[in-house]
Each structure stands twice: as C-alpha cells, then as structure tokens.
Amino acid sequence: MNKIIVFRLIFLVFFLGNSASYAADEPIKQLQAFLTASKSLTADFKQVLINEAGDPYQTSSGIFYLQRPGKFRWDYLKPFQQQIVSTSGKVWFYDADLEQVTVKKLDESVGSTPALLLSGNISLNDNFTMENQGGEGDLQWVKLLPKNQESSFKYILIGLNKGSLAGMELNDNFGQLTRIYFSNVLLNPPIKPTVFEFKAPKGADVFSD
C-alpha cells in the first residue's frame, strides 16, 4: 500500500451529517449541512485503486471511525492489516506486515487539503470551489476543486445518499484514482475514547517526520 495515497485519503471521510430534509436540498447544501451536523460516525469501507487505464489493481476493506474535532481511525483488515489513527494533532500509520510505525503531524503543513477540514480549522468555501454534479440513481454528487494550486490532487467527488456518505473519488496529480465505498454507516454514535489511542506494538520500528 502506497502510504502517500493513504495519507491523502484518511482526511476525506468527514463530510457526513444527519438525514433531515436532505431531499429538499441540492448536493452542496446537503454537504454543508453534513459538515455542521456530524460529530462522529462509524462505517465499513471498501477502497479501490484505479490505474491510468481505468482498471482496478488493488482493493482493500475495513472499518472507519470518526470523532470531531480531529480524531479518526482506519482499520484495514483485508487483504493486509494496517491502522491509521489521528488524535492530538498527530497521525500514526501502522503496517503490521512491515512491523513499522510512521508518525506525521496534522497541521497547516498539509496545505489546502481536507486534512484541515477534518480538524475544523478552515472553511470549505475558502479552500474549495464546489460544483453540483447532480444525481445518479439514489446518489447526489458534489465535486470539490482545491483553490490552492500546489494541492496534490485535482479534485474530490463526494456521493451522498439519504443523509449518508455513500462514496468518494480522489484524483491526484500523479494519475492515481482512488474510490471508497461506504456501508453500515452510523451517524453520531458514541465512540469510546480508547478507539483513538495508539501505542506502537512491541518490536515495531517507529519513524517520525
């Protein structure tokens, strides 16, 4: 798994809210309402990496947890085990196969990316141009175009389904397309604080930026 790709992705799954009056709102208004209303969530996910030819070449799945502000955890369960945990302004990446932990700071050095949206430090309107993409079946789509020219990605697509995030797509500047599909989404559930605690396993190598 390319950790740079994963690092970009972990900040995206944030745009959720409650299901009230979603049918009457256009996609952008739905998204803005989700940003305001969502405090926590849990979900199962499937992540698919797409090559330049449009073919999937890597699929992984697991469980995701979010607690605003700034706390999230991805547990990759298949086909490999990996954890990504963010709390207290830091992000820990643990690769079980490599027995390796990488620690990064979650701060403004990330630039104009969804990382700062997750931390609650910046405005969606100030950092992205939002475009309604209309509906496709039960989904309503919003495209986010970063205003920062130095951003590492071209756009983010967010798919909303009846007040829940159903899918996302990230297109980066290296030709990498990543799609995430969500299921069993629970909005604003109670989550134990220990879920976002991380301690490097005994014997693991730890690298810090």
Min mean pLDDT across 37-41, 56-60, 62-66, 157-161 is at 37-41
pTM over 0.75: yes
Handedness of CA 100, 106, 110, 116 (dihedral sign): positive
Q: Is the pLDDT of residue 114 over 50?
A: no
Instruction: Supply the DSSP string of 80-96, one letter for each residue.
Output: S-EEEEEETTEEEEEET
Give residue 122's pLDDT: 56
Residue whose pair of structure tokens reads 């967010």 in the numeric block? 158
**Domain architecture of the chain: domains with CATH:** 3-208 (2.50.20.10)
Q: What is the tens place of the pLDDT at every residue in 11-57? A: 544 533 333 344 435 788 877 777 777 788 899 999 999 988 888 98
Strands (E), 110-201: 128-136, 139-146, 153-161, 164-172, 177-187
